[in-house]
Amino acid sequence: MSCSKEEIERKRLAAIQKRQTKLSSPNSPLRNLSISNTTQGSPSFTAQNINGRKLYHPYKKPEINDSENIPVTKVVSGTIYLISESRFEVNLSEFCVPLINIFKSLPSKCYDANTKLWNFSIDDYEQLISKVAPLAPHVILGPLPAYVLKVLRENATDPNTIDLSPVEATLRNKLMPFQEDGVRFGIAHRGRCMIADDMGLGKTFQALAIASYYRHNWPLLIVTTSSMRDTWQNKVYELLPSVPLMNIATLSSGKDTQLVADKQTEVVIVSYKITTMHTDLLKSKNFGVIILDESHHLKSNKSQCTTALVRVCRGAARVLLLSGTPALSRPAELYTQLLLIDNKFFGSYTEYGKRYCAGRQTNFGWDMSGQSNLAELQILLQKKFLIRRTKEQVLTTLESKTRETVLLDDSLLQFSKEDQQELSQMADTWRTSRPADKQSALITYFNESARVKTPAICKYIKQVIKEEGVGKFLVFAHHRSVVRAVCAVLDDLSTRYICIDGHTPATTRADLVERFQHVSACRCAVLSLTAAGAGLTLTAANLVLFAELHWNPGMLTQAESRAHRIGSSGGVRVRYLLARNTADDFIWPMLQNKLDVLNNVGLSGDTFKDTAMTHQGNNNITQYLTPNHIKNKNDYIPGTNIRKNSLQCDISRNNITETECPKNEDSFLEHDQDDDLLANMEL
């Protein structure tokens, strides 16, 4: 509601009177200013006693010494986290003058203009905490966890001072320089650590060397996958000849358990499954040294296997974990492995999850599927728990690995109109499902996608066999139906091959690998992703094909390394066969996002991202492929980058660099059960 001219004039005069009253006050900051009326009655200000550049100070600038007297009008929270072994950073929710003054008072203060955050030397940590304490409850800083501070203050043994002469000479003489470094790292950490080297860098050699160094703590227990028991037995016999073969017990069933109790038995080799069946027997042996191969199988703290091994390892003096992929997709998978190395690790899973997994409470309990403070977690891992080297870092003579994406021809996909409608409905179901229902929705979609892709996959295999420059190659698939279809194609072409899946007896796997490696006429190995994706050495191959994806990136990189490892000659090409309008549309971008998390914590150097720039929200797989330069648009099927005269596919080479991915896929299959369910499905 507007005021009349009389009301406006009355309010103006009242304001002038109020200001004159303040001016007459001896404590007024306007004491040295006078107000005079202009001809129109408007006030004008005249400065008095102006001797400097500033006319007056309405408030006193706070000094550092009286920072605690400055009132904080609202609660300011902050988080402290490590950015290196020697420095930490503080991230505040609000700007706070008293807190900034405290920051400026610390000797090691450093302001990062790019991040607009303050960081300090770890030596100033206690001083910062004590100075901030009086500002509570208005200022709350989340401190560094007590366990992190304990690790930083530990006096580590210098690995370079360690003498490896106690290691058995036969094994010691076979170690490469970087493997010797790994052995020294393990000994410097008192035989309790993880060797997380890239696949194919000889983790077995390093683990046995550390175990040999601590032979006075034996008996030795080696826990591995069923397919690797015989391989470990052969390596122990080969590299540690002082251990009689009769003193090595390999348990393949419950009938062999009497070997464990035999006093002469020095080395026991078991599978993870056997461990759960005979936990009490293994615990009674009081193993002093334990090697856990492929330790990422222990990612769930609720599984029977993890519970059993926590009991068995509790009394062991030395515990060595081996894995090229310690976390297959998220930081939560590390907790139980780290707990086996240090049974006092971080106090509880909840505290670990809140710190590094962005843990939050939901109606269904704690959600630990996220990630947070990954730089600090990486520092903690490297200082206390693990050593990791990649092939690029230590094998300068190893040929490179290149990845390619292959877009299968739509015309060869087994699509009927009913199939198209059904798959489209499945995709919509997955998009609109609640998080708890997404798992089952995607598995159904994944199964149907395999059926649709199979004809195009088989056609592509035929082309590869005729392709110039392709020698031996591997084909990985997940569904049994796809494995059988690929084998049928090879039979039709009279191409010799081996096949290893979940039904292949463990006793024959080594013979099959030997045949592929050394029989020149054996050109192909057809392999199950979950049953043969780890633990095998197939370096005779120079091409690796993935007929199907897996939503766990660690499974794929493990499988790639069956060929790209020590012993391979020439480069290795990896091709992923993708089909549009199938589950690949969702799984491929999800793999890229999960690998980003592992890269941030230093547990992977891989990326599936390509060179093409994409737009968010588009769920068509072609956005993640690098299209060939189109010279004549009429030569291509409309809306695709496939030539009309192409037999079955368009190969899109890429260097796998960064691209943007749909952010709405981040929550894809957030729970640990997804990988276990997929691995155990009878498909």
Task: Give 122-181 as a 3 state SS string.
Answer: HHHHHHHHHHHHHHCCCEEEECCCHHHHHHHHCCCCCHHHCCCCCCCHHHHCCCCHHHHH
Task: Indicate if the pLDDT at residue 663 is higher than 60.
Answer: no
Rounded CA-CA distance 15/420 in Å is 77
pLDDT at residue number 72: 54
Per residue in 161-216, pLDDT (tens digit) is 999 999 999 999 999 999 999 999 999 999 999 999 988 889 999 999 999 999 99
Task: Indicate if the pLDDT at residue 41 is higher than 60.
Answer: no
Give the count of beta carbons closer than 10 Å to the beta carbon of residue 552: 25
Give the count of beta carbons closer than 10 Å to the beta carbon of residue 174: 13
Q: Taking a C-beta distance cutoff of 8 angstroms, is the pair 639, 683 a contact?
A: no
Question: Residue 366 in 3-state DSSP?
Answer: strand
CB-based contacts of 586: which residues, under 8 Å, 6+ apart? Answer: 427, 430, 442, 445, 619, 665, 668
Give the count of beta carbons closer than 10 Å to the beta carbon of residue 365: 7
CA 308 distance to own-chain centroid: 25
pLDDT at residue number 69: 53
Going by pLDDT thresholds of 50, 70 and 90, the confidence category of residue 429 is low
- DSSP sequence for 296-322: GGG--TTSHHHHHHHHHHTT-SEEEEE
More confident residue, 618 or 280: 280
Question: Which whole number is the average pLDDT over 524-536?
Answer: 89
Going by pLDDT thresholds of 50, 70 and 90, the confidence category of residue 433 is low
Residue at 302: amino acid letter: K
Q: Taking a C-beta distance cutoff of 8 angstroms, is the pair 530, 359 a contact?
A: no
Question: Which whole number is the average pLDDT over 593-604?
Answer: 73
Rounded CA-CA distance 70/420 in Å is 68
Rounded CA-CA distance 172/593 in Å is 41
Rounded to the nearest integer, the mean pLDDT of the chain is 79
pLDDT at residue number 295: 93
More confident residue, 289 or 560: 289
Task: Indicate if the pLDDT at residue 676 is higher than 50.
Answer: no
Going by pLDDT thresholds of 50, 70 and 90, the confidence category of residue 338 is very high
DSSP β-bridge partners for residue 528 = 477
Encoding tokens for residue 439? Answer: 């798992």
When mean pLDDT is compared across 232-246, 335-349, 441-455, 590-604, the lowest value belongs to: 590-604
Going by pLDDT thresholds of 50, 70 and 90, the confidence category of residue 415 is low
Map out the domains of the chain with their CATH numbers.
Answer: 5-47 (no CATH), 64-144 (3.40.1170.30), 165-326+385-393 (3.40.50.10810), 401-680 (3.40.50.300)
Q: Which residue has the tokens 């001072």?
A: 161
Rounded CA-CA distance 45/32 in Å is 10
pLDDT at residue number 439: 65
Rounded CA-CA distance 119/149 in Å is 16
More confident residue, 674 or 520: 520
Question: Which whole number is the average pLDDT over 636-649?
Answer: 34
pLDDT at residue number 668: 29
Question: Which whole number is the average pLDDT over 602-611?
Answer: 58
SS3 for 583-603 is CHHHHHHHHHHHHHHHHHCCC
Going by pLDDT thresholds of 50, 70 and 90, the confidence category of residue 60 is very low
Going by pLDDT thresholds of 50, 70 and 90, the confidence category of residue 372 is very high
Going by pLDDT thresholds of 50, 70 and 90, the confidence category of residue 1 is low
pLDDT at residue number 416: 60
Rounded CA-CA distance 474/483 in Å is 12
Rounded CA-CA distance 506/226 in Å is 7
In the DSSP assignment, the letter for residue 381 is I
Task: Indicate if the pLDDT at residue 119 is higher than 50.
Answer: yes
More confident residue, 656 or 448: 448
Q: Compute the radius of gyration of the chain from its Cα atoms.
A: 33
When mean pLDDT is compared across 55-59, 115-119, 677-681, the lowest value belongs to: 677-681
Question: Which whole number is the average pLDDT over 402-410?
Answer: 85
Nearest Cα neighbor of 579 from 459, 676, 677 is 459
DSSP β-bridge partners for residue 365 = 362
More confident residue, 182 or 466: 182
Question: Which whole number is the average pLDDT over 5-20?
Answer: 80
**Residue 105, CA atoms < 13 Å, CB-side half-sphere:** 19
3-state helix, strand, coil in the chain (%, to 5): 45, 15, 40
Encoding tokens for residue 232? Answer: 């470990």
pLDDT at residue number 500: 94
Rounded CA-CA distance 331/412 in Å is 40
Going by pLDDT thresholds of 50, 70 and 90, the confidence category of residue 26 is low
Task: Indicate if the pLDDT at residue 605 is higher than 70.
Answer: no
Encoding tokens for residue 646? Answer: 């192409």
More confident residue, 615 or 53: 53
Rounded CA-CA distance 63/631 in Å is 70
Question: Which whole number is the average pLDDT over 645-661?
Answer: 31
Task: Indicate if the pLDDT at residue 551 is higher than 90.
Answer: no
DSSP β-bridge partners for residue 37 = 43
**Beta-strand relationship, 117-121 and 318-322:** unpaired
Per residue in 552-571, pLDDT (tens digit) is 888 888 899 888 887 777 78
More confident residue, 615 or 524: 524
Task: Indicate if the pLDDT at residue 647 is higher than 50.
Answer: no
Per residue in 65-115, pLDDT (tens digit) is 444 455 555 789 999 999 999 999 999 998 989 999 999 999 999 999 999
- DSSP sequence for 242-281: TS-GGGEEE-SSGGGTHHHH-TT--EEEEEHHHHHHSHHH
Q: Taking a C-beta distance cutoff of 8 angstroms, is the pair 502, 478 a contact?
A: no
Nearest Cα neighbor of 232 from 205, 199, 257, 209 is 205
pLDDT at residue number 435: 60
More confident residue, 311 or 626: 311
Element spanning 354, H or E:
helix 349-356
